[in-house]
Structure 1
Amino acid sequence: MTTVDASPVMVVHVIADPGLPSRRLAAIRDSLQGRLQVLSRRPLEVESRSELLRIRPDHALEARAVENLSEGRVDLVILLTEIPRYLKRRPLIAEAYPDERVAIVSCPTVGAWATKSKLLRIIVDCAYRLMTMDDVAETYTDDGWGQWVSRDERKSLIMLANPRTGFARTVLGVILGNEPWRTAPKLSRALATAAATGAFGVFYNSIWQMSDALSTGRLLVISVLAVCSMVVWLLVSNKLWDRPRYARLSKVVLLYNLSTVMTLLICVIWLYAALWVFIFVSGLIVIDPSFMASVLNEDVGINNYASIAWLSASMGVVAGALGSGFDDQVDMRHITMGMRERQRAYTQQPETEVEESTS
């Protein structure tokens, strides 16, 4: 077991963006304290706080983000940002500045699986590279996780994502950061419109006959078209599709556009599934099987109720698309633009000021 010298306490200050980064940090804080204490020769304390981080295109940080360093109150500062960062068209997982004793970790580039354990290892790895050799315990062994590259011109160390899987993993990380499962229920206005329209399928026997006549393949095509129509409407009506002002930013903007589309797709599929369940249960309660059999001139079963719900849900989603929208502007920004709002600061900079790392 590591013996801690009777030395001044080393304070590691971790600042995380509000939302998912802060919740991840809170979940691993105790483990982080233990891992860093094993790493450090000195007594160590982890301080954490949630704060909106502002990282400019030149990667300079606002003074308040590292003000405690200049005052000597903390020894190391590690920033967890929700902004995906790029260098030479490759996702930048982390960047460490040993001279400034500051490291930046981009949470979306971690991906969408085992994020807490990965984040824990990355933070410990960053701290190891910010510490002096006198501060590192002799018993600690660098596990070599991730590939760090030196940038002599910036006197920094960087960890880049795998060129083959990094982009896809970052898209999934951005989608996870958008948290569609939290904001999908806020499409209540669209759900109300869709439910009102879909309810016609329960009461109008012409829809029963149509759903019975349509093949499974046709019903599937109709449902896909209905979902796509709502996604497109949300994109167009809320102006959520970005166009890069400069060609060098196309990769970054493409990432945001893909994550926006996928986030909206998840929300609309959730809406469609909820609507199908509502209509299916309503049909079982309202429609008498013998009456339906007399209308269709055939024996009916559970498949008939499922087909009615399927077609009616598609009709409802199409109608919901025309009247769809988020309950307020804040919800709309949270679901797709929580990170993209600040990313626009990159695209609005004059081209001569845009750092290579955003290309």
Structure 2
Amino acid sequence: MADDTPDGVRVLLVSDPGLPTRRAHALRDDLQKYLAEEFRPPVEVHTRTAMLRLRPDDSLDLDDAVQIAREFGHPDVVLLLTELPRLTDGRPLIAEIFPEENVAVISCPTLGAFATRRRILDTLMDCILRMTHPAGPRGPSRFGRSWRHWNDADDAGAHSTLHTGMALGGVRMVLGMVASNEPLKTAPRLSSALAAASATGAFGIFYSSIWAMSTFLSTPRLLSIGALAIGAMILWLILSNVLWDSPKRSSLARVVLLYNLSTVMTLLVCVAALYSALVLLILVGGLIVISPDYMREVIGQEPTFTTYLDIAWLSAAMGVVAGALGSSFDRETNLRSLTHGQRERQRRYTEESEPGSTHQPS
């Protein structure tokens, strides 16, 4: 190593429960390797799980992070990896450095849903180098990216912020919020909807009028019926579970809009997965139960695989509409924790004794 390589560094990485924690654990070894390239030994990386809290005025409460840092003997850098989407001046905020507390807050959703491992690593390293070299030169860093820009504080003790543009950055943030909602893990919560949808969709296998109707409907019309069924179920889930958030003040209108967009897109993924599973189940059932000779007599033409697929598609559309009603009778299903808005409220009101906020060292 070069003679000017800085001495060792101790880093504490605190992450929100859920996806941020899994990402923190997955990249811990890589972070340690990168730090070993930039610092002399010893290099230490510790991880901890804790929920970043919000004050009533929506500002960040860093008291828990400071307390955890004391437990670890005041590490050189404390990194908070959160699922909170953050905006300042209408621009997505990727990271913010609080020099007085030696804390940097990194927003996972702002980094997007794809290739986030590398993006998170680069952002973490960028924050660490800025916090350990506060008076150093601000030349290009190998961890920097052209689509994000630091706004360095002019006054001592002021915050430095890392932003991205609103256009692509907004899209990236919404996709990141959808990933944080983990729609494929949420889909099994709709078990009652799937049961009702399967029961109703199964009628399409046994009722010949549905065979005839699906045969004479054009492909665009069938696709439109499927889209309308998915849209109807999404609307029902939003209304019946009160998933739509309203801003309490105009300054929060933009971030609440992002919350609602991510909720709709998350439900779209959930319901589309349910619809696809239903089409597959009905298709397999139809191929097994419906005799091609009998279908030929009913529809007056030679059946093909596409014929069976059309029947499954139309039957699934009927089933999804019934599934929306079925979901309202499932008292075990709680979709409100799906939304960022609800989880943000938990950050204000959840007691320390609740599982979601328990500190877990590693």
TM-score by length of 2: 0.87
Query: Runs of 4 or more off by more than 6 Å in structure 1?
Result: 3-7, 345-348
**Alignment-derived partner of residue 356 in structure 1:** none
Q: 1:209 aligns with which of 192, 209, 212?
A: 212
1:147 to 143, 146, 149: 149
Per the TM alignment, residue 70 of structure 1 is displaced from its structure 2 partner at its CA by 5.0
Q: Which residue of 2 aligns with 1:226?
A: 229
Partner residue in 2 for 1:61: 61
Match of 2:352 in 1: none
> The residue matched to 1:294 in structure 2 has which SS?
helix
Find the aligned partners of 2:92 and 2:268 in 1 and give their Cα distance. Answer: 24
- The answer on whether the counterparts of 2:151 and 2:160 sit within 8 Å (CA) in structure 1 is yes
Query: Secondary structure at the residue paired with 1:78?
Result: strand
Which residue of the partner structure matches residue 360 of structure 2? none
* 1:35-184 map, 5 Å: 35-41=34-40, 43-56=42-55, 57=57, 59-69=59-69, 72-132=73-133, 142-143=141-142, 144-145=144-145, 146-152=148-154, 155-184=158-187
* CA drift at 1:118: 0.4
Does the CA contact (< 8 Å) of 2:52 and 2:347 recur in 1? Answer: no
Report the Cα distance in structure 2 between the residues aligned to 1:78 and 1:326, rounded to whole angstroms: 43
Aligned equivalent of 2:253: 250
Tell me, yes or no, if the aligned pair for 1:209 and 1:296 is still in contact at 8 Å: yes
RMSD (CA atoms): 2.6
Q: Does structure 2 retain, via aligned residues, the 8 Å contact 1:246–1:347?
A: no
Between the aligned partners of 1:330 and 1:225, the Cα distance in structure 2 is: 24
Alpha-carbon deviations, 1:91-131, whole Å to 9, x = none?
A: 10001122321100001000011100000000000001111
Residue 47 of structure 2 aligns to a residue whose secondary structure is: strand
Q: Shift of the alpha carbon at 1:68? A: 4.5
1:298 aligns with 2:297: no
Q: How many angstroms does 1:40 deviate by?
A: 2.3
User: 1:43 Cα deviation (Å)?
Assistant: 2.1
Q: Given that residues 15 and 80 in structure 1 are in contact (C-alpha distance below 8 angstroms), is that contact kept between their aligned partners in structure 2?
A: yes
The 3-state SS of whatever aligns with 1:323 is helix
Alignment size in residue pairs: 342
Q: 1:133 to 1:242 in 2, by over 3 A?
A: closer
Gaps of 5+ in 1: 349-359
Give the conservation status (yes or no) of the 8 Å contact 1:21–1:82.
yes
- Number of the residue aligned with 1:309: 312
Give the TM-score normalised by the residue count of structure 1. Answer: 0.88
Q: Do the aligned residues in 2 keep the contact of 1:245 with 1:347 (CA within 8 Å)?
A: no
Give unmatched runs, 5+ long, in structure 2: 350-362
> How has the CA–CA distance of structure 1 residues 162 and 290 changed in structure 2, closer, same or farther, with 3 Å as cutoff?
same
